[in-house]
């Protein structure tokens, strides 16, 4: 076994968590209160206070509501069928909002516990329009494009300083010819979050430092821009850790690293002392509007909300498709790190803009897509 590695610490945290849970079970004789979510540790509640401005009570209630909304979303898709126009979590009401193209489906969806909104375009139509945009070549002044269920359109984001550039205007005109499109602005262009070598962090490949995403049986998943297939990976102590077995970037931004003997995997995301280390129990996809947190080797633990899904991000190296956008900050070296909502794995950090001093936005590659691509099994508690 490797001594005092991040994964080693995670094993200890897992054992401590199980022990504390057993002790807590027999501690009280008073009438039981409703159990808070398993994710609602004091550290997580404090992170949600700092990043989202929530009191502990508000944070616990929101986590409960988001967990319920995740289940409602699955049922709403089935109930609405072809009339489904997308959905999002509304923090003000604590409920999922489901867009529908047919009023006849409203009663069935509302019976599930969701609110509804009638829209013109179905989610299928919007996804098809975005796919047509994915076939276009975008100039550097276009930051990306995504399906936005609230706007019921495909939103093309342009860099503010280049919005009037001929190439940008031409792209927007072509995009509008492909389907329902609206235009938004971003302060700067997105970038990936790899970094030069810094001692003591989770893993290195070449002269690049990145972060472990989620443990899978046989290794872990991370960002594709961190290394190519066949590249050797070194652990925090510089010793041989594993090898990139598969990697895709641009187009996608994901990779699978197999690990050598002497290293092990555990279903844990590091909380870096800000919150307790998080047990991973599954990979149910959180809805737009839900709270989400990120763990990375540079800026450690930060939280925010899911802003959009199925966004194409136009990096300088090329476009990456099917990304999820969040309000969580990140910096160089955080690439590949874990995005988690409650105890559910969401994805691996890709890139963004801004930093954790002044704020910014970050995209991740959904973890379920990575698992499916490489035939991997998430290591869960």
User: Annotated active-site positions, please?
Assistant: 225, 253, 335
Quick check: 249 and 349 in contact, CB under 8 A?
no
| Cα gap 185→348, rounded to integer Å | 25
Q: Identify the H or E element spanning 96.
A: strand 95-100
Q: How many angstroms separate the Cα of 64 from the Cα of each of 38, 61, 116, 185?
A: 10, 5, 20, 33
Q: How many angstroms separate the Cα of 20 from the Cα of each of 13, 17, 343, 374?
A: 10, 5, 17, 36
Q: How many C-beta atoms surround the C-beta of residue 240 within 10 A?
A: 13
Q: How many angstroms separate the Cα of 166 from the Cα of each of 186, 228, 350?
A: 18, 35, 29
141: left (phi over 0), alpha (psi -120 to 50) or beta: alpha
* CB-based contacts of 229, cutoff 8 Å, min separation 6: 244, 245, 246, 247, 255
Quick check: 98 and 115 in contact, CB under 8 A?
yes
Q: How many C-beta atoms surround the C-beta of residue 125 within 10 A?
A: 18
* CB-based contacts of 116, cutoff 8 Å, min separation 6: 97, 98, 99, 100, 106, 109, 110
Query: 258-288 burial string, b = 16+ CB within 10 Å, else e?
Result: bbeeebebbbbbbbbebbbbbbbbebbbbbb
Q: What is the DSSP letter of 286?
A: P
């Amino acid at each position: 076994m490797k001594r005092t590695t991040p994964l080693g610490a995670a094993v200890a945290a897992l054992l401590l968590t199980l022990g504390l849970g057993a002790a807590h079970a027999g501690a009280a004789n008073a009438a039981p209160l409703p159990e808070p979510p398993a994710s609602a540790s004091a550290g997580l509640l404090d992170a949600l206070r700092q990043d989202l401005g929530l009191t502990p009570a508000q944070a616990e209630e929101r986590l409960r509501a988001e967990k319920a909304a995740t289940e409602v979303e699955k049922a709403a898709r089935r109930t609405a069928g072809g009339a489904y126009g997308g959905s999002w979590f509304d923090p003000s009401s604590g409920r999922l909002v489901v867009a529908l193209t047919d009023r006849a489906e409203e009663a069935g969806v509302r019976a599930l516990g969701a609110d509804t909104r009638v829209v013109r375009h179905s989610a299928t139509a919007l996804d098809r329009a975005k796919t047509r945009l994915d076939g276009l070549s975008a100039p550097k002044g276009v930051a990306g494009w995504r399906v936005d269920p609230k706007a019921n359109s495909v939103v093309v984001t342009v860099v503010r300083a280049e919005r009037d550039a001929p190439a940008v205007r031409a792209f927007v005109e072509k995009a509008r010819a492909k389907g329902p499109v609206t235009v938004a602005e971003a302060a700067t262009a997105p970038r990936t979050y790899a970094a030069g070598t810094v001692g003591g962090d989770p893993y290195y490949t070449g002269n690049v430092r990145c972060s472990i995403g989620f443990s899978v049986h046989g290794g872990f998943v991370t960002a594709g821009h961190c290394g190519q297939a066949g590249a050797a990976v070194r652990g925090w102590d510089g010793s041989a850790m594993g090898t990139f077995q598969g990697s895709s970037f641009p187009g996608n931004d994901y990779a699978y690293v197999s690990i050598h003997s002497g290293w092990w995997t555990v279903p844990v995301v590091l909380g870096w002392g800000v919150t307790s280390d998080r047990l991973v129990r599954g990979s149910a996809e959180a809805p737009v509007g839900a709270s989400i947190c990120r763990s990375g080797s540079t800026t450690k633990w930060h939280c925010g909300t899911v802003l959009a899904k199925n966004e194409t991000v136009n990096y300088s190296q090329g476009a990456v498709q099917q990304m999820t956008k969040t309000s969580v900050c990140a910096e160089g070296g955080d690439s590949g790190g874990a995005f988690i909502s409650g105890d559910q794995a969401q994805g691996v950090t890709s890139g963004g803009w801004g930093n954790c001093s002044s704020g910014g936005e970050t995209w991740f590659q959904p973890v379920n897509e990575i698992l499916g691509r490489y035939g991997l099994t998430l290591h869960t508690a």
